[in-house]
Amino acid sequence: MQYFSTNGHAPLASFATAAATGQAPDGGLYFPESLPQHTWLQSSEWRSWTAAELALHVMQPYVGQSMPLQQLQAICADTVNFPFPLVPISPGIQSLELFHGPTLAFKDVGARFMSRCLAWYNRGSQQRITVLVATSGDTGGAVAHGFSGVEGVEVIILYPEGKVSPVQELQLTTCGPNVHALRMAGSFDDCQAIVKQAFTDAQLQQRYQLSSANSINVARWLPQQLYYFIAMQQWPPDAAPPVVVVPSGNFGNICAGMLARRTGLALGHFVAACNANDTIPHYLASGTLREQTAVATLSNAMDVARPSNFVRILQLMQHQHAQLLDWLSAYSISDATTSETIARVYRQHGYLLDPHAAVGYAAAELYLQQHPADTAIVLETAHPVKFPEVVAAATGQPVPLPASVQHLFALPSHATPLPATYDAFLQWMLER
């Protein structure tokens, strides 16, 4: 499998090169040159496979010959070694719970797959890989945990000051000595822009072997397909394909789901559930992709005004707006509706939504009002404990702290404050 740049001015790259470099040298995102067709989905045998077996079948065409099959098999097994249950919430709406991994967020899947790939590709090398990652909350924690203590790899995480929850901040500032957190005085978009610029900086390229752990990296983006396949193992084989509602910030998660459908998985229409950062809902309605500035919301991991992965969705749809509209709808959900939805679903159904899934649930309700015969799956992307103040204010009940994160509050937290400018970041990198 070869990968081309969405900007169209870079050489083709193998999976290993694309994973190690993160972003194409022309500033574009890597995209598979050809898409596999999973013909094994045409039989019923795959429904009885283990999650590890299913993951191997999905990922092998993308990795190709860049890794021995036995090594890929081990990586896939480590990536999906926790449950992904499909849980009914209300008539017509189910939750795909993606928060049962080590950092309680869906990004554990991509981060675990990518960290293990990079560690294997860099084995025996004398030069460390430096992974740059911008986070609006959950990516940083998942990447920090995935790479903590990994030999030959260091991680530098940029996150917006005051815009991540306490548990999220602890998850990305309490890891091993190879993980460094930069607390940026700005927005996630500022952090993301700095990371992107770093990959085009010749001075940094000479000094560091840079890679990215954001979903712009194929090794983090592509494995996000896996829980869509695992979800459909749990879906009745004779039922109509579900509408898939995805809380969407940088659009890597929903793009992975759309890729899974393109390669043969029987999924229905996709709904991008957005907060007040409504770049894509506006685009789908108007055909104009306007420049916006991110605004802070209760669903902070989705506070993205310039979603990087949307270019991959356009590529997947061959830049045909009509085809895109046939596959994708989008709604913008306010903070008031987010809080009301958390409270109402907890009161009526006893199910606790995090703010991002609440955005998804509200969007699912809007879509199902117009399509009452459909059934929806909402991706519950993070555990509610990562947003305790928001959830407790809506429900009137404190969120119980899972045992898996209690230890974080006893660990020393380390973060370096920086202005959200490229010059400040570059100076820090050069003076290290």
Q: What is the pLDDT of residues 159-193, one digit of tens each?
A: 999 888 888 899 889 988 999 999 999 998 899 89
Q: What is the CATH number of domain 83-103+221-400?
A: 3.40.50.1100
Of 107, 163, 196, 386, the catalytic one is 107
Residue 147 pLDDT exceeds 80: yes
Q: What's the confidence (pLDDT) of residue 222?
A: 98
Q: Give the chain's radius of gyration (CA, Å).
A: 20
Instruction: State how far the Cα of 398 lies from the Cα of 424, in Å rounded to an integer.
Output: 39
Residue 22's region, left for phi above 0, alpha for psi from -120 to 50, else beta, is: left
Residue 351 pLDDT exceeds 80: yes
For residue 381, what pLDDT band results from cuts at 50, 70 and 90?
very high
Instruction: State how far the Cα of 380 lies from the Cα of 210, in Å rounded to an integer.
Output: 32
- Token couple for 273: 């559930």
Element containing residue 132 per DSSP (H, E) = strand 129-134
Centroid of chain to Cα 326: 23
Is 107 an active-site residue? yes
For 241-251, write each residue's pLDDT tens digit: 999 999 998 99
Q: Are strands 129-134 and 209-212 parallel, antiparallel or unpaired?
A: parallel
Tell me the pTM.
0.90
Q: What's the confidence (pLDDT) of residue 199?
A: 87
For 60-78, write each residue's pLDDT tens digit: 999 999 999 999 999 999 9
Q: How far is CA 401 from CA 9, 140, 333, 385, 407, in A?
A: 49, 20, 27, 6, 10
Contact between 245 and 377 (Cβ < 8 Å)? yes
Average pLDDT over residues 197-226: 90
* 60-93 CB burial, b ≥16 within 10 A, e <16: bbbbeebbeeeebbebbeebbeeebebeebeebb
* 124-156 CB burial, b ≥16 within 10 A, e <16: eeeeebbbbbbbbbbbbbbbbbbbbebebbbbb
Element containing residue 287 per DSSP (H, E) = none
Residue 285's region, left for phi above 0, alpha for psi from -120 to 50, else beta, is: alpha
For 1-38, write each residue's pLDDT tens digit: 999 999 999 999 999 999 988 889 998 999 999 999 99
Residues 6+ apart with CB under 8 A from 344: none
Residue 400 or 49, more confident: 49
Q: What is the mean pLDDT of the chain?
A: 94
- Percent pLDDT > 70 in the chain is 100
Residue 104's region, left for phi above 0, alpha for psi from -120 to 50, else beta, is: left
| Type of residue numbered 242 | P
Q: What's the confidence (pLDDT) of residue 390?
A: 95
Q: What's the confidence (pLDDT) of residue 402?
A: 85
Residue 163's region, left for phi above 0, alpha for psi from -120 to 50, else beta, is: alpha
Element containing residue 35 per DSSP (H, E) = none
Tell me how crowded residue 414 is: count the other CB atoms within 10 A of its CB: 12
Tell me how crowded residue 421 is: count the other CB atoms within 10 A of its CB: 15
Q: What's the confidence (pLDDT) of residue 137?
A: 73
Q: What does the domain layout of the chain look like in residue ranges?
A: 83-103+221-400
Q: What's the confidence (pLDDT) of residue 189?
A: 86
Instruction: State how far the Cα of 381 lies from the Cα of 64, in Å rounded to an integer.
Output: 29
